[in-house]
Amino acid sequence: MQYTENSKIICYFTLAIKCISVGVLKDIDPKTFESMNADGGVAQAYLIGQLARADDSPKGLEGIMFNIAMAILSNTNETVGCHTVRVDCADELIGHCTRNGFVNIGKSPKNNLNRMVAVI
């Protein structure tokens, strides 16, 4: 892909690994909880972060980017072995995350985003 001075970023996301305390996951069913491979009360989790689109870009682009991020993580899961994915999202993405197997574990006190968790 070639970029020019007129190129514009319309949507993006970041991927990272971040620990999550399993103590905050009381509402997750036992099978999912066990799949997280928590050790000492902490599970390693992929974090889909900074999922955003430009104000003038098409609505719904976040869902497409979310699906791309999940595809990348699903492939990485086989190599790295991390099973948990976390996304901190705005209210408008809760439905999309829920349809993709995520469970809302509450709002982040830092930025008031919804913390969503799934096992892949």
Written as one string, the DSSP assignment of 42-54 is EEEEEEEEEEEE-
How confident is residue 110, by pLDDT bands cut at 50, 70 and 90? confident
Domains of the chain are 11-119 (3.40.630.30)
- What mean pLDDT is predicted for residues 105-111? 83
Is the model's pTM score more than 0.85?
no
CA-based max dimension of the chain: 52
| pLDDT at 27 (0 to 100) | 64
94 pLDDT higher than 80? yes
Report the alpha-carbon distance of residue 77 to residue 30 in Å, rounded: 21
Which two tokens mark 70?
């999940």
How confident is residue 52, by pLDDT bands cut at 50, 70 and 90? confident
| pLDDT at 83 (0 to 100) | 83
| pLDDT at 88 (0 to 100) | 87
Backbone angles phi, psi at 115, to 5 degrees: -90, 120
When the pLDDT of each residue in the chain is averaged and rounded to a whole number, the result is: 83
Contact 22, 36 (CB under 8 A): yes
56 pLDDT higher than 70? yes
Distances 10 to 29, 35, 90 between C-alpha atoms, Å = 37, 35, 18
